[in-house]
Chains A and B, each alone.
Chain A
Amino acid sequence: MATYKNIRYNIPIGGGSSEVLLSEITASSDSTISFTSDINSTYKEYLFRYVNLHPSADNKTFLFNLSADGGSNYNVTKTTTHWRGIHGESDSPATFNYNAGDDMAQGTGFQNLYGGSGGDNDQCICGEFRLFNPSSTTFVKHFFGTSQGAHSDNYSINNYVGGYANTTSAINAIQFKFDSANIDTGTISMYGIN
């Protein structure tokens, strides 16, 4: 009788989809949301999609940081860019700018993904964040993300963040949070990209 040790597929695992859902966390007044497993060499790209995140207080910044020790410490050194389009419901302001106050130059703190999230009952933020090849021990770890949200001043802000974790250590955990507020509601899903 034949013994099969290895079966090779000519389709991506996961039903043919390029995105494979690895984990999903629904917030309920949580101070942080962390993914501390499944970030490894299985995928070359990881996608985090956040939907309808609502802060427990008005005008809060949504942040992330990375960990190289399984989530014991979120303090990886980063250099980043941060730019955005802003448009008020009153038609002012209407602008596009680089936001030097929210970028990082070799900082180890949490990186701003969206500043000034509104806390009105109907306000929230959504977006995507991509982390490339986190298990590499040769290169820095690149990431970029796009957030769209309702700002506390009743602006629509479309925010772009990019950068790299300036380390050759493998990244194996990520944490999201609002500054000094809870994540009242919302969902963050982690996908591996085939």
Chain B
Amino acid sequence: MATYSAIAHNFTPPAATTSTQVGAGAMTLIKSITASGDGTVSFVNGSSDVVLDSTYKTYIFKYIDIHPSASNPEFQVGFRDGGSLYDATKTTTYFNTYHNEDEGVDPGTAVGYNGDSDLAQSTGFQTIIQDLGNDNDQAGSGQLWLFNPSNTTFVKHFFGRSQNAHGGDYTQDIYYGGYCNVTAAIDAVQFKFSTGNIDSGTIKMYGIA
């Protein structure tokens, strides 16, 4: 059997720079959780193989086909900055566009800022999908970026985009962003509905080198 001591690649490796990760795949799946009638889904550093520390500068959470047990709840996220509560102080924005399946119904279409779903120095959970429908075929999906959560100098920025079937049979395209106005490290992230359980759906957490 032949032994190959070297394999030549038919691509040009990138030039070396300051990072030891250069040339490597940068996006690593850390944890995938599939909900089944759960009140919350949490990603806690150091628990259940979750890494949420200085290992990565950016984390992405992808939530896919999240389906609520209740009618028209808000799908929400909270951040933990010490202790056991997901109550890091946040100031956020939330704007969206929507289009009704029945264009004859008022309102049929709109784009605008949604003051019901933003936060101003609040410790409450941030809405990332408002009024998610719970018909059997309705769900919501999207992704959330969280930047450098272990940093202890700066506030912690995050933003995301969601797409869902609204309880009123709209399609909604949602943009949200904000910062945890704390210099303490964020070491856990929790998702939940404002009321009821997460009947089904998957949330995947990735680290980006």
B-side residues, CB < 8 A to A, are: 2, 4, 7-12, 14-15, 17-19, 21-28, 57-58, 91-95, 111-113, 115, 118-121, 145, 147-148, 151, 153-155, 157-159, 175-179, 181, 183, 208-209
Judged by a CB distance under 8 angstroms, whether A136 is at the interface is no
**Which residues does chain B contribute within 8 Å of A149, judged by CB atoms?**
157
18 A-B pairs whose Cβ atoms sit less than 8 Å apart in the complex: A1-B2, A17-B24, A17-B27, A22-B15, A23-B17, A23-B19, A85-B95, A96-B95, A96-B112, A122-B153, A122-B183, A148-B157, A148-B159, A148-B178, A150-B179, A156-B93, A156-B179, A192-B14
**Which residues does chain B contribute within 8 Å of A37, judged by CB atoms?**
15
Q: How far is the CA of A51 from the CA of B119 in the complex (A)?
A: 23
Q: How far is the CA of A20 from the CA of B11 in the complex (A)?
A: 13
For A49, give the chain B residue with the smallest CB separation: B58
Task: Tell me whether B120 and A89 are in contact (CB under 8 A).
Answer: yes
Task: Tell me whether A7 and B209 are in contact (CB under 8 A).
Answer: no
**Which residues does chain B contribute within 8 Å of A87, judged by CB atoms?**
91-93, 118-120, 178
Q: How far is the CA of A86 from the CA of B93 in the complex (A)?
A: 6
Q: How far is the CA of A111 from the CA of B194 in the complex (A)?
A: 40
Q: How far is the CA of A20 from the CA of B24 in the complex (A)?
A: 6
For A86, give the chain B residue with the smallest CB separation: B93
Task: Tell me whether A6 and B94 are in contact (CB under 8 A).
Answer: no
Task: Tell me whether A85 and B27 are in contact (CB under 8 A).
Answer: no
Task: Tell me whether B177 and A123 are in contact (CB under 8 A).
Answer: no
Chain A: number of interface residues, binned into ranges: 35 or more
A-side residues, CB < 8 A to B, are: 1-2, 4-7, 12-26, 37-38, 42, 49, 51-52, 54, 84-91, 94-96, 121-128, 146, 148-150, 154-158, 160, 187, 189, 191-192
Chain B nearest Cβ from A41, distance in angstroms: 11
**Which residues does chain A contribute within 8 Å of B155, judged by CB atoms?**
122-124, 150
